[in-house]
């Protein structure tokens, strides 16, 4: 089993190192090869997603990804920005189905800004379509940076679009995931305003007839944003488009106390996948050894379960994470009085110890 390891920028290198350590400790003989991506690749090769990195990712059974981005690249033209690396990987590998679970660990109930009773026991799954929508529609008004100055037209637009097959396949993913859970799907749209999302709603409704055992409801995205903080436990599986999913998944992540805890998986039709923490590269805390590696470690667990057919090993990692939380170990983002503050590396070491 071959894994492409792409740490990227900012805290990416620190957190991925801990996840790699945990994977090694399992002794599965995994073949892991690293490559540069994002700003780091731009610095070294002049492009955020060099051909060699893309090739490595394509040939691997799975990709373990850290994070990309840094404000210092804000003035680069869009095609060279670090974010293009993750978008390029998603598109080139056809990773259309993004799973973003939001689980509240009982040990962290108090780390959330919401009242404990609202989130205790929370376990929802956001399924975000990842290769369509306004992210990949035709843009206009792309400008070229010249000395940090952006000449060009005084208007810009991006195109929101979805095709029937794109909606159908993500709807199937959502209904099938719901079958393994509480058999409820909420499809989030903006059908009251946008043609794209009226179509989305119609197609999801059609697909739902093939899953009579799963309850489907529809919700406008603004209402969904509100319900997520009002009564998050009412949701089970949420399926939505790329843009709304980007926003709602950050919101859902924060319900659990820390975005530093949440893994994600992006899969294609062949179950080849890219696994990354839901959070970003956090350049403000990079290099300080204080980032939380648990989201990446849990992403490695998802990788074992979804792409490498090693569900038991995934369970082992998840149990080890719960153990270290029960031991009271906390990185800065989830620290509260009465717990023990540890560094990124100490957290990774603790997970390895509890595996053994
Ligand atoms: C995410 C990120 C990315 C996105 C960025 C880095 C391109 O916010 O994975 O949610 O918008 O999809
Ligand atoms: Mg995002």
For residue 266, what are the CA distances in angstroms to 195, 284, 338?
26, 26, 36
The percent of residues above 90 in pLDDT, for the chain, comes to 85
Q: 10 Å Cβ neighbour count for 319?
A: 12
How far is 33 from 57, CA to CA, in rounded Å? 10
User: How does strand 263-267 pair with strand 97-103?
Assistant: antiparallel
Contacts 24+ apart (CB under 8 A), 74-82: 75/145, 75/148, 76/42, 76/145, 77/142, 77/143, 77/144, 77/145, 78/142, 79/142, 80/42, 80/46, 80/47, 80/48, 81/48, 82/8, 82/9, 82/38, 82/39, 82/42, 82/48, 82/281
pLDDT tens sequence across 294-304: 999 999 999 99
Mean pLDDT value across the chain: 94
Instruction: Detail the DSSP E strand segments found in 89-158.
Output: 97-103, 123-129
Q: Which range has the worst mean pLDDT, 18-27, 111-120, 169-178, 231-240?
A: 111-120
How far is 52 from 6, CA to CA, in rounded Å? 12
Read off the pLDDT band of 154 (50, 70, 90): confident
Quick one: pLDDT at residue 144? 57
Whether residue 82 contacts residue 70, with contact meaning beta carbons closer than 8 Å, is answered with yes
Q: Please give the angle made by the CA atoms of 290, 296 and 300, to the nearest 5 degrees.
A: 150
| Residue 65 pLDDT > 60 | yes
| Residue 47 pLDDT > 90 | yes
Tell me which DSSP letter residue 151 carries.
-
Quick one: pLDDT at residue 22? 98
Nearest residue (by CA) to ligand 1, atom 6, is 83
How far is 6 from 23, CA to CA, in rounded Å? 15
The arithmetic mean of pLDDT across residues 234-254, rounded, is: 95
The arithmetic mean of pLDDT across residues 246-256, rounded, is: 91
pLDDT tens sequence across 208-239: 999 999 999 999 999 999 999 999 999 999 99
Q: 10 Å Cβ neighbour count for 336?
A: 12
Instruction: Detail the DSSP E strand segments found in 123-236.
Output: 123-129, 184-189, 215-220
Nearest residue (by CA) to ligand 1, atom 8, is 246
Quick one: pLDDT at residue 146? 54
Whether residue 236 contacts residue 183, with contact meaning beta carbons closer than 8 Å, is answered with yes
Our answer to whether residue 74 is catalytic in this structure is no
CA of 250 to the centre of ligand 2 (A): 6
Read off the pLDDT band of 256 (50, 70, 90): confident
Residues with CB under 6 A from ligand 1: 69, 83, 86-87, 246
CA of 246 to the centre of ligand 2 (A): 5
| Residue 270 pLDDT > 60 | yes
| Residue 40 pLDDT > 60 | yes
pLDDT tens sequence across 103-130: 998 888 888 889 999 999 999 999 999 9
Read off the pLDDT band of 276 (50, 70, 90): very high
Our answer to whether residue 284 is catalytic in this structure is no
Read off the pLDDT band of 259 (50, 70, 90): confident
The arithmetic mean of pLDDT across residues 315-344, rounded, is: 95
**Which ligand 1 atom minimizes the distance to the CA of 264?**
9
Residue showing tokens 């002794």: 27
Whether residue 22 contacts residue 32, with contact meaning beta carbons closer than 8 Å, is answered with no
How far is 263 from 356, CA to CA, in rounded Å? 22
Quick one: pLDDT at residue 143? 59
Probe ligand 1: pick from 246, 250, 252, 283, max atoms within 8 Å of CB? 246
Whether residue 310 contacts residue 99, with contact meaning beta carbons closer than 8 Å, is answered with no
Collect residues with CB below 5 Å from ion ligand 2. Answer: 246
Quick one: pLDDT at residue 152? 67
| Residue 345 pLDDT > 90 | yes
Quick one: pLDDT at residue 142? 57
């Amino acid at each position: 089993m071959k894994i492409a390891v792409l740490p990227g920028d900012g805290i990416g290198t620190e957190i991925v190192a801990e996840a790699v350590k945990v994977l090694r400790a399992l002794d599965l003989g995994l073949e892991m090869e690293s490559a540069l991506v994002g700003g780091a690749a731009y610095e070294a090769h002049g492009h955020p997603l060099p051909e060699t990195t893309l090739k490595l990712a394509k040939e691997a059974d799975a990709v373990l990804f850290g994070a990309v981005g840094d404000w210092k690249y804000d003035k680069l033209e869009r095609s060279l920005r670090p974010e293009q690396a993750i978008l390029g990987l998603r598109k080139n590998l056809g990773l259309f189905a993004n799973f973003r679970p939001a689980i509240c660990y009982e040990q962290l109930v108090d780390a959330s800004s919401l009242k404990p009773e609202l989130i205790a026991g929370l376990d929802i799954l956001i399924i975000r379509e990842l290769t369509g929508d306004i992210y990949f529609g035709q843009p206009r008004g792309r400008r070229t940076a010249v000395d940090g100055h952006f000449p060009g037209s005084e208007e810009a637009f991006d195109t929101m679009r979805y095709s029937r097959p794109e909606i159908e396949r993500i709807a199937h993913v959502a209904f099938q995931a719901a079958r393994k859970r509480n058999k409820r799907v909420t499809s989030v749209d903006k059908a009251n305003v946008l043609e794209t999302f009226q179509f989305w709603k119609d197609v999801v409704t059609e697909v739902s007839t093939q899953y009579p055992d799963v309850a489907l409801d529809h919700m406008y995205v603004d209402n969904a944003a509100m319900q997520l903080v009002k009564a998050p436990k009412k949701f089970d599986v949420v399926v939505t488009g790329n843009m709304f999913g980007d926003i709602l998944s950050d919101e859902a992540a924060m319900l659990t106390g820390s975005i530093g805890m949440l893994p994600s998986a992006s899969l294609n039709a062949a179950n080849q996948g890219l696994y990354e923490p839901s959070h970003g590269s956090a350049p403000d805390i990079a290099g300080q050894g204080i980032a939380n590696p648990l989201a990446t470690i849990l992403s490695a667990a998802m990788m074992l379960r979804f792409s490498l057919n090693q569900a038991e090993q995934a369970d082992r990692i998840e149990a080890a994470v719960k153990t270290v939380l029960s031991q009271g170990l906390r990185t800065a983002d989830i620290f509260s009085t009465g717990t023990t503050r540890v560094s990124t590396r100490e957290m990774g070491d603790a997970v390895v110890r509890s595996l053994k």
